Structure 1
Amino acid sequence: MRLFSKGPEKSIQEYISEAEKRKGSIFLDVRTPEEYKEGHIEGSINLPLHELKKIGSVIPDQEAPVYVYCLSGARSRRSAALMGHMGYLDVTDMGGLLGQKVKLVR
């Protein structure tokens, strides 16, 4: 398992499959609420990057496996790094949805 890597090593679909096998996994979408409404990974939590300081009230368990994504990968990378500095121990940067074949819900 990668902790705070420099970028995604797998496709988003591969990360989704991995997360579904791990008890307590959380998908965190760090895009804007407007982007989230256009389509997101089922069951994901939306917390925009600019509101990441509220992560403790959204995901209080700092040991939970958290899979972070955005549109291009820039915000997810930054969010994963920030969460590491905040004490989160198991954060995976899934990268961005752009160009990925993944089922989204609205």
Structure 2
Amino acid sequence: MLSFLKNMFQNGNDGLADALQAGAVIVDVRTKAEYQQGHIAESQNIPLDEIRSKTELIRRWNKPVITVCRSGSRSAMAKDILSAAGIQVYNGGAWTSLKPVK
């Protein structure tokens, strides 16, 4: 199973696969319109401009978080915000680098 998860990532980042294995939640930080055009099944859409206000909600999930966006820039910013709040978070980069399923 772990090898399957590792193969889902084009960049081969083992930390992401391990986080998914641990039940991580994928948070897509693109706009709602972008998200509706395609996204990873079961991902949560919390646009970057709402991340700060949703930090406590995300903390209550008590799970690792993987942030994704279109190119990796917004997901990196979201990662920094959540990490500063003490949440275990990984930057997954572009949502298409994970197995995209609508």
**TM-score category, normalised to shorter length:** 0.7 to 0.9
Distance of 1:102 and 1:64 partners within structure 2? 20
1:42-91, CA deviations, whole angstroms, 9 ceiling, x for partnerless residues? 11110000111222353233742001100000000010001111221x10
> Counterpart amino acid of 1:74?
S
Distance of 2:21 and 2:55 partners within structure 1? 24
Cα-Cα RMSD: 2.5
The 3-state SS of whatever aligns with 2:30 is coil
Aligned length: 92
The 3-state SS of whatever aligns with 1:95 is strand
Unaligned ranges ≥5, structure 1: 1-9
Measured at CA, do residues 87 and 101 of structure 1 come closer, stay the same or move farther in structure 2, by a change above 3 Å? Answer: closer
Match of 2:100 in 1: 103
> Counterpart amino acid of 2:92?
M
Q: TM-score, normalised by structure 1?
A: 0.71
1:21 has 2:21 as partner: yes
Distance of 1:101 and 1:78 partners within structure 2? 19
Which protein, 1 or 2, shows the higher relative CO under an 8 Å CA cutoff with sep ≥ 6?
Answer: 1
Unaligned ranges ≥5, structure 2: 1-8
1:21-53, CA deviations, whole angstroms, 9 ceiling, x for partnerless residues? 213x21100000001001111111100001112
Match of 1:74 in 2: 73
Q: What is the percent sequence identity of the aligned residues?
A: 28
Match of 1:4 in 2: none
Preserved contact between residue 26 and residue 44 of structure 2 (Cα < 8 Å)? yes
Distance of 1:71 and 1:20 partners within structure 2? 20
Q: TM-score, normalised by structure 2?
A: 0.74
Distance of 2:40 and 2:61 partners within structure 1? 21
The runs of 4+ residues in structure 1 deviating greater than 3 Å are 12-15, 17-20
